[in-house]
Structure 1
């Protein structure tokens, strides 16, 4: 972006509240194009659905520039579990409440993807075990303390390639280039439209002038469409999105919020 804009860019990490602290700061910043947000599914699809005391509205308080990439979720199991997703579902139905799955925490994108999967596969009775991050959940999966985790494809690949875990399905419209032999959830279960990815976006504060947004969008697309950069993203399990526009990005955020709303309500999750 610095090269494309011929302008130095400083990355400032504002950790906390799944990105909400940094997002709130950007939402309140001057709408001059000099303060941008690198947001995620958590900050722009889930935050307003989960928060009891929201500090910003992910649609009204931002001017999206582009959705830049997505990391598909995956259903990952210990090798002691059935070898296909269809067989896993059958086993859960035959033994309700026996299987538990781990996620990086209550209310995270991966937790809610797990809840969405349970409904899609036939209202499965699978317990949720929240962890403080993906790494401890994966450790317990390796130790067979839990039978399943919902993680991203990229972060599961090392253990998958070492034959320590099985990735039964990916939650994307098409198979992952990183693991082309693994079916999608829809392929494995005969469902339609099951997609869940941890996506990222570039956004500016609401009210940023359209010519400024257009310039930022052009610079963003210069980066995302770069062949070398795209290859680097794919190697770590992120699919670059090269055709996003400010208008389509806003529509995408609204669609994702609407899609996750019934999942959040069914899970009964609220976070301060």
Structure 2
């Protein structure tokens, strides 16, 4: 039978008592939610909704802070190096935590090892928008693109982003049609050029593209959701437009903590997030902005989902590797 010293027994008792006490006292001060992209984009919109709701759930202010740059890597690294006490969190995306290590030649962090996934939150399905001078359906646009010389071009928020990869998948599903990629420094500049007529096609989230579509400043050709969007029932899904069942692409979001976060604090954050995701009013608020909320889950299910998404995009990243390295 093992023999324990008085010191080790006291330490064991202290840690056992500390766990529930830690959960009861957290959060002790405002929580900083780092958004690793500039203000005004789809990630920023969802993060602010989430912060407001978590403020109510946790009883302390959840304050958003935009730390854009390097495709989200600057903000991500800041959280990675933060004290793991739950008071600094990252509002990550598919780009920062499924694609980053796939597309970055010299990554500054390991998306799986250097963070703990708290929860997946869902997000906005992607959509493709054409300038109103272009053909009005995806099939007609693709037919015109096949015969265009020089090739037509599409704009994305940047090389290696989910929008870029999803459009490359779209091109392959359409039989390998040639449409040149023009990377922008964010979604807004690409949309500006689309509306101005200097760009034939652009890819964005449903929530960001919907106002332009409704105003007639751009024409939404397809949305990459599983079913037609309630906000745009006239727009077919990409699966419908291509005749390819199962084609979806969602800019999903997730909350991450630095490594070493104590389990009681992780459980408290997960519990509060699940309470938000289960609330009908919160889900309706998100739906109004073109965001599909995820179902409540666990940190383990979040980590499994992110691993599956990384595996899903690996083949397409490998296929466009020359472009990424040019």
TM over 0.5: yes
State the superposition RMSD in angstroms: 2.1
Equivalent in the alignment of 1:149: 202
Measured in 1, the distance between the counterparts of 2:228 and 2:297 equals 21
Query: 1:91-170 residue pairs with structure 2 within 5 A?
Result: 91-95=144-148, 98-170=151-223
Equivalent in the alignment of 2:109: 56
- Residue 101 of structure 1 aligns to a residue in which SS? strand
Equivalent in the alignment of 1:13: 66
Unaligned runs of 5+ in 1: none
Match of 2:135 among 66, 77, 82: 82
Equivalent in the alignment of 2:253: 200
The answer to which structure has the higher helix fraction is 2
Query: 1:259-270 residue pairs with structure 2 within 5 A?
Result: 259-268=312-321, 269-270=323-324
Equivalent in the alignment of 2:228: 175
> With CA pairs under 8 Å and 6+ residues apart, which has the higher RCO, 1 or 2?
1
Describe the superposition over 1:23-70 as per-residue Cα deviations: whole angstroms up to 9, x where unpaired.
Answer: 112222333323211111111011111222212111122221111121
Moved more, 260-269 or 14-23: 260-269
Contact 1:107 1:271 in 2 (8 A): no
Describe the superposition over 1:204-241 as per-residue Cα deviations: whole angstroms up to 9, x where unpaired.
Answer: 12332333222111101222333333222222211111
Alpha-carbon offset, residue 20 of structure 1: 1.1
Equivalent in the alignment of 1:232: 285
Alpha-carbon offset, residue 130 of structure 1: 1.9
- TM-score by length of structure 1 reads 0.91
Contact 1:97 1:127 in 2 (8 A): no
Describe the superposition over 1:86-132 as per-residue Cα deviations: whole angstroms up to 9, x where unpaired.
Answer: 22223333447532111122222212221121112111111112222
Q: Is it true that 1:24 corresponds to 2:77 in the alignment?
A: yes
Say if 1:97 and 1:197 are closer, same or farther in 2 by CA, change over 3 A: farther
